[in-house]
């Protein structure tokens, strides 16, 4: 029943051989695990490095974009300031020109006023709307006198000083009506000579002033 053969009895199993075989497998497994762990660590390191690079690139791009936005805003502000400065300079120049023009007009108005006042005094009128009575011509006014004599400068000066263009003289005529009557009379007078010499009267024009039609007569 029992096998006591020489092979089994004389060659018992070698425990050391089995132990060495098991240890080599463990070492190979550990080596493979270490290689895999190293590979994973290196892969993770590369991944982190790439992530850092991506973040750094994103930061650089954001910084560059912010710098561009800032430069664009600065350029917009510079152009706006430049335009404001140009407008301010133009406004200042316009204001200066307006002041110069006003001064010129005021000086001219003062000259016309002085000339008008001197003419009133010379003609014996107490004011632009004050009547002057004459035994032969009745009551007349400065505007009638200036218009009748064709003194356009004085007519303008009287109107500037407030002469009333609708004022009527003792004959019931306005200054304009006096002029038109004079024009008509002179026209009839010249018809017999075959030609017109009333160039001054034919150049008579009516312009609105203070809401009324007033004669402006050429000199």
For the segment 123-140, the average pLDDT, to the nearest whole number, is 87
Domain boundaries, the chain: 105-216
Name, of 3-17, 25-39, 86-100, 202-216, the range with top average pLDDT.
86-100
Lowest mean pLDDT among 19-33, 119-133, 140-154, 162-176: 19-33
| pLDDT higher than 90, residue 55 | yes
Lowest mean pLDDT among 47-56, 64-73, 114-123, 206-215: 206-215
pLDDT at 210: 38
More confident residue, 88 or 3: 88
This prediction has a pTM of: 0.50
Q: Are 198 and 190 in contact (CB under 8 A)?
A: yes
More confident residue, 105 or 179: 105
pLDDT digits (tens, 9 = 90+) for 145-157: 999 888 889 999 9
DSSP at 137: T
In this prediction, residue 40 has a pLDDT band, given cuts at 50, 70 and 90, of: very high
Lowest mean pLDDT among 128-137, 186-195, 196-205: 196-205
For the segment 109-116, the average pLDDT, to the nearest whole number, is 94
pLDDT at 216: 42
Q: What percent of the chain has pLDDT over 90?
A: 51
Fold of 105-216: 1.25.40
In this prediction, residue 173 has a pLDDT band, given cuts at 50, 70 and 90, of: confident
| pLDDT higher than 80, residue 1 | no
| pLDDT higher than 50, residue 26 | yes
């Amino acid at each position: 029943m029992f096998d006591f053969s020489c092979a089994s009895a004389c060659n018992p199993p070698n425990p050391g051989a089995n132990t060495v075989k098991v240890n080599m497998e463990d070492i190979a497994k550990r080596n493979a695990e270490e290689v895999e762990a190293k590979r994973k660590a290196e892969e993770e390191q590369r991944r982190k490095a790439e992530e850092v690079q991506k973040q750094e690139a994103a930061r650089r791009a954001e910084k560059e974009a912010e710098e561009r936005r800032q430069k664009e805003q600065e350029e917009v502000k510079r152009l706006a300031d430049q335009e404001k400065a140009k407008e301010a300079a133009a406004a200042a120049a316009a204001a200066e020109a307006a002041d110069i023009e006003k001064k010129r007009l005021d000086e001219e108005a003062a000259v016309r006023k002085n000339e008008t006042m001197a003419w009133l005094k010379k003609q014996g009128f107490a004011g632009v709307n004050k009547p002057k009575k004459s035994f032969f011509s009745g009551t007349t006014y400065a505007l009638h006198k200036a218009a009748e004599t064709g003194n356009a400068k004085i007519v303008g000066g009287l109107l500037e000083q407030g002469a009333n263009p609708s004022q009527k003289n003792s004959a019931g005529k306005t200054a304009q009506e006096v002029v038109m009557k004079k024009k008509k009379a002179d026209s009839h007078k010249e018809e017999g000579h075959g030609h017109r010499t009333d160039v001054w009267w034919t150049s008579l024009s009516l312009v609105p002033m203070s809401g009324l039609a007033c004669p402006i007569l050429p000199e």
